[in-house]
């Protein structure tokens, strides 16, 4: 799945609000003439995008799978698309079968606002200290309690429910004709709610010289949600890939 999440209230279906899940289920009902509940690999928040979301569903569809893919894309709105459709192996579940999720966060440097860039990137006014942000991000790799940076999506209490394994967390810089861009890539076995955006906000503070790498280490060890800064804007975040 690929979608522009700007105008959606997140992935998960909500009464009276446009969501990606609701949009997909409406399209499936229209094409398959049956009520279908889908599940996704990640519950992206309001305004968050995806280029590699994975979904699963059961249907009595009896025609070629390629026909279903074409039919869905014909009725889905422009902001949502099925990139690839296939019959899943027995027992496959897009969420519980996943080994890791990879998110990317894009930051653009500019002194004047840009409506087009603002849809998919968070704007900052001044260049950031790339080396300092990567030094701080290195503290996140491995098994840790990330309670400072997010909350358990299932609402379970207890410190053990906020432990996650991060496989990679790194910033890179790109300079092109469109400007100066920073891209943060993070991969983990699973994520807490708002975890990525809160981490990004913390690392951006390091890039601006407002925090240090040691501060990030201390925040991680503290496992106290009240110590976290507000999450970075949703516009820059994208679910890039799910690994199985």
CA angle 55, 52, 228 (to 5 degrees): 100
| Helix, strand, coil content of the chain in percent (nearest 5) | 30, 25, 45
Residues 192, 97: contact at Cβ < 8 Å?
no
The dihedrals phi and psi of 3, each to the nearest 5 degrees, come to -155, 150
d(CA 140, CA 144): 7
Any idea what the Cα angle at residue 56 is, between residues 52 and 58, rounded to 5°?
155
Q: What φ, ψ does residue 27 adopt, rounded to 5°?
A: -65, -40
Tell me whether residue 7 is one of the annotated catalytic residues: no
CA distance 7 to 84: 23
- Quote the tokens at residue 155: 């609402």
Catalytic residue among 45, 152, 185, 215: 45
**41 vs 21, 26, 159, 234, CA distance in Å?**
12, 19, 23, 18
Catalytic residue IDs = 45
């Amino acid at each position: 799945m690929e979608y522009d999440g700007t105008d959606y209230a997140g992935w998960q279906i909500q009464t009276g609000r446009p969501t990606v899940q609701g949009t997909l289920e409406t399209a499936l009902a229209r094409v398959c003439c049956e009520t279908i509940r889908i599940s996704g690999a990640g519950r992206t928040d309001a305004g968050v995008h995806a280029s590699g979301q994975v979904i699963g569903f059961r249907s009595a569809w009896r025609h070629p799978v390629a026909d279903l893919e074409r039919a869905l894309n014909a009725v889905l709105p422009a902001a949502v698309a099925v990139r690839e459709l296939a019959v899943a192996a027995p027992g496959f579940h897009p969420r519980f079968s996943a080994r890791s999720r990879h998110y990317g966060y894009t930051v653009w440097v500019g002194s004047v606002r840009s409506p087009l860039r603002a849809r998919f990137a968070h704007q900052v006014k001044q260049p950031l200290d790339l080396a300092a942000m990567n030094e701080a991000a290195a503290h996140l790799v491995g098994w840790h309690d990330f309670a400072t940076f997010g909350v358990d999506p299932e609402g379970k209490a207890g410190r053990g429910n906020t432990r996650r394994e991060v496989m990679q967390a790194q910033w890179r810089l790109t300079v092109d004709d469109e400007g100066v861009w920073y891209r943060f890539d993070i991969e983990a076995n699973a994520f807490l709610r708002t975890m990525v955006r809160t981490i990004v906000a913390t690392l951006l503070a390091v890039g601006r010289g407002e925090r240090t790498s040691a501060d990030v280490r201390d925040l991680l060890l503290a496992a106290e949600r009240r110590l976290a800064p507000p999450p970075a804007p949703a516009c820059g975040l994208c679910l890039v890939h799910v690994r199985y």
